[in-house]
Structure 1
Amino acid sequence: MGLKPLHDRVIVRRTEEQETTAGGIIIPDSAKEKPQGGEILAAGPECKTLKAGNSVLFAKYAGTEFSMDGDELLIMREDDILGVFE
């Protein structure tokens, strides 16, 4: 990755969206919400509890979206992370 986050910021890739419900109903693109979970790709030097590879849950409107090498990514503060999946 060519971008290194500063201070307490992390770079997150959102998890894939679900295409169908458990009952088999296909969800159209217009009805989908962006997932609130993802994987941390890089963490700044001041991040105390998070590291690359953690699966996390973050606030709905957290972070700033940007595109890099064809991937849609988010950069956000460590405080915007609500929890870490174990």
Structure 2
Amino acid sequence: MGIKPLYDRVVVRRLEAETTTDSGIIIPDSAAEKPSQGEVIAVGDGIALDNGKLRALAIKPGDRVLFGKYSGSEVKVDGQELLVMKESDILAVIEHSQIEEKAA
């Protein structure tokens, strides 16, 4: 991937949207909302503090995150649609144990 975000910005790839409900109803693409979950692809070096030093980000590549519906800017890189957003736009990190429990 040829993209490196600056400072406190993060590059996120949206996860695929659910196409069926829990009861089995199929949701057409035109009615589906964009997912608010994604996987972090790249992170910047950190946020610049008043003393000139950088504070490293709490997010790292590979993290699965939740973000607001209208967060970030959509960009297309190497044919992939990605989001570039500030670390503060990320609402939460989904821990791997919660993902595995849902899948089972």
With the length of structure 2 as denominator, give the TM-score of the two structures.
0.79
Structure 1 stretches of at least 4 aligned residues deviating more than 6 Å after TM superposition: none
Alpha-carbon RMSD across the aligned residues, in angstroms, is 0.8
Does residue 74 of structure 2 align to residue 65 of structure 1?
yes
How far apart, in 2, do the equivalents of 1:85 and 1:22 lie? 21
For 1:2 and 1:23, locate their aligned partners in 2 and report how far apart those are by CA, in whole Å: 41
Which blocks of at least 5 consecutive residues in structure 1 are unaligned?
none
1:59 deviates by 1.1
| TM-score of the aligned structures, taking structure 1 as reference length | 0.95
Identity of aligned residues (%): 58
Please report how far the alpha carbon of residue 81 of structure 1 lies from its aligned counterpart in structure 2 after TM superposition: 0.3
Greater relative contact order: 1 or 2 (C-alpha under 8 angstroms, separation 6 or more)? 1
In the alignment, what sits opposite 1:42?
42
- 2:71 pairs with 1:85: no
| Distance in structure 2 (CA, Å) of the matches to 1:59 and 1:24 | 26
